[in-house]
Amino acid sequence: MRHLKLVHSTEKASAMHDKSSVKIAFASSDRRVVDQHFGAAEAFCIYSLAEDDARLVEVAEFHDSDVAMDGHEGKLAGKIALLEDCAAVYCNAVGASAIKQLLAAGIQPMKVEEGTPVDELLCGLNQSLKDAPPAWLAKRLQNKDADRFNDMEAEGWSE
């Protein structure tokens, strides 16, 4: 597997890690459209998404032996571990076992039509953050709030 993490040094990029940002993954061979089955995905592009911004933060590519459709059950763990910080993963198809494992890891699997543009999905997610996020996204944002307050308490903050 090849794995690239992008590091942004600007204030805007660091603000993306606040309580209102989430990571979203897309199973995509070209970083432009969702065109992969989860279990056989050749690559994932991962974006940090906030109400008014979306930034590519990671790209992971898998070797041919990691994406073969037959016998990929044991290879799911590595892909799920890669996506552990993501709120959702968009793909064209996902098997029942993968769905169970993703949900257990707190990652919402999202099936979309092959060729759906990543930019289109990100725009829709940005808008839903402003208006009314879907239940899976609202839950993830609430969990981030709880984590933030637990971190503050651990640092000695009190009312």
Of the pLDDT bands very low, low, confident and very high (cuts 50, 70, 90), residue 16 is: very low
Query: Would you say domain 2-154 falls under CATH 3.30.420.130?
Result: yes
Q: Looking at the predicted structure, is the pLDDT value of residue 58 above 90?
A: yes
What's the confidence (pLDDT) of residue 124?
A: 94
Domain boundaries, the chain: 2-154
Whole-model pTM: value is 0.79
pLDDT tens for each residue of 79-132: 999 999 999 999 999 999 999 999 999 999 999 999 999 999 999 999 998 888
> What is the crossing angle of helices 135-154 and 118-130, to 10°?
70
Q: Looking at the predicted structure, is the pLDDT value of residue 15 above 50?
A: no
% residues pLDDT > 70 (the chain):
71
